[in-house]
């Protein structure tokens, strides 16, 4: 079984001080030891999250990074800078980055490569828009995104995490149903097993993201997911801790 992960994506929310308060509260909660809990704050709050990570038994993640190691790239943040703040995971190709900031499949691929070279774990985000789903293009879109992002060896591929996040389910309260989630997980797992080996495909955690909350986590956990990428429902530390516990219970971890 792949490692189980619950990842909080705060997006553009919380200052340094608010992040410190969050981590103090999270440290009072009992997080399930069988699940790797990852907090992805904005860059400016990484220091506060890193300072509180050990006490709360969580890991530090970033929401983005540059595709270059260093240089004249005003406003960018490199993998080396993230590593200095004890970051372990980095989201790559989140749909908001793709649609609002013009992140192409090619840029996503470059980021995945650079992160692997830096020994950081890329969390590769994939997903179709509503229009693509309605046009029966979900499989084609997921295959294209996987093809583009994974010109990797089997060894490299076994070091990534994949998050399936249908764009129409992000921040909309419209969670994908069990059938849709299961079909996407099977498609991605099958793609990985065909391209690499069954063992590599099994080793890669595949998460679901898109309006995950306390009300739907138990039914989502019945699908073959290895965890969740959580936006809105991760902003309150007690709620997020509850969510991780509910996931562990539902998965019988
Ligand atoms: P949401 O966001 O849980 O608020 O839908 C998920 C994400 O964008 O990663």
- In tens, the pLDDT along 71-86 reads 999 999 999 999 999 9
Distances (CA, A) of 239 to 82, 153, 187, 236: 27, 38, 31, 5
Output the CA 177–ligand 1 centroid distance in Å. Answer: 15
C-alpha closest to that of 39 among 82, 89, 108: 89
Averaged pLDDT, 111-115: 97
Output the CA 243–ligand 1 centroid distance in Å. Answer: 14
pLDDT of residue 151: 87
Q: Residue 111 burial (CB < 10 Å; 0-12/13-18/19+)?
A: buried
Neighbours of 101 (CB within 10 A): 10
Tell me which of 16, 76, 94, 128 is the catalytic residue.
94
Tell me: pLDDT of 190 over 80: yes
Q: Are strands 227-230 and 161-164 parallel, antiparallel or unpaired?
A: unpaired
| Distance from C-alpha of 66 to C-alpha of 97, rounded to nearest angstrom | 12
Distances (CA, A) of 37 to 4, 78, 109: 9, 23, 25
Indicate the pLDDT class of residue 130, thresholds 50, 70 and 90: very high
Averaged pLDDT, 221-226: 97
Q: Which of 6, 62, 127, 209 to mutate to test the pocket of ligand 1 (most atoms within 8 A of CB)?
A: 209
Contacts of 4 (CB under 8 A, 6+ apart): 34, 35, 36, 205, 226, 227, 247, 248, 251, 253
Averaged pLDDT, 88-97: 97
Averaged pLDDT, 117-138: 96
The pTM (predicted TM-score) of the whole model is 0.97
pLDDT of residue 2: 75
Tokens at 25, concatenated: 């509260």
Output the CA 85–ligand 1 centroid distance in Å. Answer: 24
Look at residue 30 and give its three-state secondary structure: coil
Backbone phi and psi for residue 193, each to the nearest 5 degrees, phi listed first: -65, -35
C-alpha closest to that of 59 among 15, 20, 7: 7
| Distance from C-alpha of 158 to C-alpha of 31, rounded to nearest angstrom | 26
Atom 2, ligand 1: residue with shortest CA distance = 231
Atom 7, ligand 1: residue with shortest CA distance = 231
| Distance from C-alpha of 14 to C-alpha of 220, rounded to nearest angstrom | 28
pLDDT of residue 152: 87
Averaged pLDDT, 90-94: 97
Indicate the pLDDT class of residue 38, thresholds 50, 70 and 90: very high
DSSP string, 79-109: HHHHHTTTEEEEEES-HHHHHHS---HHHHH
Averaged pLDDT, 152-168: 94
Contacts of 57 (CB under 8 A, 6+ apart): 31, 33, 37
Atom 1, ligand 1: residue with shortest CA distance = 231
Residues 62 and 81 sit within 8 Å (Cβ to Cβ): no
């Amino acid at each position: 079984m792949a490692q189980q992960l619950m990842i909080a994506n705060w997006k553009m929310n919380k200052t340094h001080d608010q992040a410190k308060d969050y981590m103090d509260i999270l440290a009072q909660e009992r997080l399930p030891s069988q699940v790797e809990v990852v907090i992805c704050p904005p860059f400016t709050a990484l220091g506060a999250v890193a300072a509180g990570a050990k006490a709360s038994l969580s890991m530090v993640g970033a929401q983005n990074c540059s595709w270059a190691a260093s240089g004249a790239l005003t406003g960018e943040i490199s993998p080396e800078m993230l590593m200095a703040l004890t970051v372990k995971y980095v989201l790559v190709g989140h749909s908001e980055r793709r649609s609002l900031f013009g992140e192409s499949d090619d840029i996503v691929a470059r980021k995945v490569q650079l992160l692997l070279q830096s020994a950081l774990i890329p969390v590769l985000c994939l997903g179709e828009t509503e229009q693509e789903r309605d046009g029966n293009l979900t499989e084609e879109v997921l295959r294209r995104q996987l093809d583009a992002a994974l010109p990797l060896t089997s060894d490299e591929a076994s070091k990534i995490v994949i998050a399936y996040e249908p764009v129409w389910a992000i921040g909309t309260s419209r969670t994908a149903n069990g059938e849709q989630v299961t079909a996407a997980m099977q498609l991605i797992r099958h793609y990985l097993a065909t391209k690499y080996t069954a063992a590599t495909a099994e080793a890669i955690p595949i998460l679901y993201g898109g309006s995950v909350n306390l009300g739907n986590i138990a039914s989502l956990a019945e699908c073959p997911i290895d965890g969740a990428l959580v936006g809105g429902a991760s902003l309150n530390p007690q709620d997020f801790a509850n969510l991780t516990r509910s996931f562990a219970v539902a998965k019988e971890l």
